Chain A
């Protein structure tokens, strides 16, 4: 009697286990399929329109055949400038939070603020940037306004990923360094940051990938038109980026090939983000391996 009951339980457990395995596989396959369909749709529709002249020439406002050259440049230029501001500030805040701040009300408040800011929609940051940089500071719709607003958007996310990376560094490294007579700053600079470097880089990649596709905030601060000559490094010109261009092509462009340009831009944007992740992700992996010997 007892053994047969135990058998039933065993059989039921085994069946549950099998069902769970199947369900999880199905979910995972569905996700991969979704991704393939999405990428396939973007590339099949977009890539045929991508050519060398499309990638390098200037956009046209009325006739067909415009390109996206200046937009590609602006995407990277604004990203670079925004990281120039947000990386040092973000890293500094993360170091302060994880190494210097004493547990207490102030630290909790700073951490809470950072976390709240990280979940504010980008269009709100865009409106803030419009008021502060474009209007109040008279930077107008420019690369400068866009970069500053974008760095505000990136900052809280950077602080969070940086703080996490720094806290992952084992306490024993810090102890070893201090026990050798290093001071706190030497320990942070030479041991903690070095050990955290691979995950710091991963964090930057995530933020940069997101920033490359950021649209709403830039529509409101960097504008949508582009300078007459490219590449234009001046900060005070309007700097339409690839994603902003995509948005305008879909919503309000009057050129006859707007749809093709939009599809081509989408494909290029996705490719750029993928390449960007690979280009930074692979060296980070190699670095990780060099530091830890693949453990």
Chain B
């Protein structure tokens, strides 16, 4: 990138293998702070894999090997002495399907703070309200905080998951197709929410929906078969793509 901003996340010559299969080929990518970076590409291109490499969720899959580095705030998260727990507190994740815990709305939000040692009821109450307000859900749920979160609609559940993440006060939000299971109106609400959040957080979002990428992101990265084909400002990438493969993809010739 031409701007001289210090990148929040810096990915350097990252190779990733699932057993014998290589899923990512020498990815180099700088992610700007306080903005939205969209990762697009056809299914199986490695965009979700790259996202999960940024908070080491891939560790949970047996047989994953990684070469290269991912730096968050200048520190390589694959260093031997990295504390995965504090990494994931700092780099949080929202999943494709809303996955609230089978407990009350309040307990869902308070789960993160509680495991990180916050106990006082007053502090927790404030955190819950603040997080739900940030996630634009407070008004809808403030009268049913102690009812189960499973009774919310899909869109509300996804915003609850975002609120749950905000409650642990991360710096980076990784979103793995957060709206693919939602209806258009809920999708719009989540998009508006991400737009509001970008001033305070660094957001990386994987999406299958190119309109969505164009609508909400400042930078877009296009992946194909584990290779980062093109990465640049969203409006430039969508109007004047440099690579013919990018052009073919965004004009709908494949994928």
Q: Which residues of A are in contact with B by a Cβ distance under 8 Å?
A: 170, 172-173, 175-183, 186, 190-191, 194-195, 290-293, 295
Contact = CB atoms under 8 A, between A and B. Distances in A.
B93 A292 contact: no
A195 B93 contact: no
B210 to A, nearest CB: 26
Given A181-B168, A183-B85, A175 B150 contact: no
A175 B148 contact: no
Given A180-B92, A180-B111, 15 more contacts: A175-B60, A175-B93, A176-B100, A176-B164, A178-B60, A179-B92, A180-B88, A180-B165, A181-B87, A181-B115, A190-B111, A194-B103, A293-B147, A293-B148, A295-B151
Contacts of B159: none
Interface in B52-106: 55, 57, 60, 85-89, 92-93, 95, 97, 99-103
Interface residues of B, number: 29
A182 B111 CA distance: 9
A190 B151 CA distance: 20
B161 interface: yes
B99 A182 contact: no
Given A172-B95, A181-B116, A293 B55 contact: no
The 9 A-B residue pairs with the shortest CB-CB distance, nearest first, are A181-B89, A293-B151, A172-B99, A291-B102, A179-B93, A293-B148, A180-B112, A293-B150, A181-B88
Given A176-B95, A179-B55, A293-B147, A195 B115 contact: no
Nearest to B174: A179
Q: Name the residue in B55, B97, B111 with the highest tally of chain A Cβ atoms < 10 Å from its Cβ.
A: B111
Contacts of B85: 181-183
A199 to B, nearest CB: 12
A177 B103 contact: no
B102 to A, nearest CB: 4
A contact patch SS: helix
B103 A291 contact: yes
A31 to B, nearest CB: 34
A26 B86 CA distance: 62
B101 A176 contact: yes
Interface in B166-193: 168
A101 to B, nearest CB: 13
Nearest to B104: A290
Interface string B125-158: 0000000000000000000000110110000000
A179 B86 CA distance: 10
25 contacts: A175-B57, A175-B60, A175-B99, A176-B95, A176-B161, A178-B60, A178-B88, A179-B57, A179-B88, A180-B88, A180-B89, A180-B112, A180-B115, A180-B165, A180-B168, A181-B89, A181-B92, A181-B116, A181-B168, A182-B85, A194-B102, A291-B103, A292-B150, A293-B147, A293-B148
B99 A176 contact: yes
A190 B115 contact: yes
Interface string B195-220: 00000000000000000000000000
A183 B60 CA distance: 12
A128 to B, nearest CB: 38
Nearest to B161: A176
A173 B99 contact: yes
Q: Name the residue in B87, B101, B116 with the highest tally of chain A Cβ atoms < 10 Å from its Cβ.
A: B101
Contacts of A291: 102-103, 148, 150
Contacts of A180: 88-89, 92, 111-112, 115, 164-165, 168
B97 A172 contact: yes
Nearest to B147: A293
B78 to A, nearest CB: 17
A12 B101 CA distance: 50
A80 to B, nearest CB: 29
B95 A175 contact: yes
